[in-house]
Amino acid sequence: MNDVRRLGDWEGWTSFFLEGVAEIAEESAAAARDLYRLVARDRERVLTAKGSSLTAVRLLEILPRRPIVTIPGVVQILATTKPTAAKSVALLESLGILHETTGRKRDRAYRYAAYLDRLRAGTELVAPGRPA
């Protein structure tokens, strides 16, 4: 920006800005492809898992929009019963798709860890004085 102010170098600044836009766009497209592949792979795992159900598949399909769920939330979203929701969550947890986050016996929350981790990739902040 200093060269723009001092020298009128709008071309240099525009080039720098557009390179940044292109890089971010490519990173975003790569992240979207990775997320698509992740969900497709997990869908295949659920479809072929012993004891799988339509409710488990439906639960997997909502996870990209709601990557953190509870049993009561699944009951509401999928309009199903608590035992059916719990069985679907347990199946996805046994496959390593969902991870329990609270450490409690009751009122548990589960996260689609791989999906959230991929969304977070590249956004970590580095504390001052720490290596990147």
Task: Read off the pLDDT of each residue in 95-105 and give the average, rounded to a whole number.
Answer: 95
At 37, the pLDDT band (50, 70, 90 cuts) reads: very high
The whole-model pTM stands at 0.77
Task: Read off the pLDDT of each residue in 78-97 and give the average, rounded to a whole number.
Answer: 97
pLDDT of residue 13: 77
Domains contained in the chain, CATH given:
2-120 (1.10.10.10)
Q: Is the pLDDT of residue 83 over 70?
A: yes
Task: Write out pLDDT tens, residues 42-69.
Answer: 999 999 999 999 999 999 999 999 999 9
Residue 25: exposure state from Cβ atoms within 10 A (0-12, 13-18, ≥19)? exposed
Write the CB contacts of 122 (distance below 8 Å, at least 6 apart in sequence): 27, 31
Write the CB contacts of 119 (distance below 8 Å, at least 6 apart in sequence): 31, 35
Residue 104: exposure state from Cβ atoms within 10 A (0-12, 13-18, ≥19)? exposed
Higher pLDDT, 127 or 11: 11
Cα–Cα dist 115/44, whole Å: 16
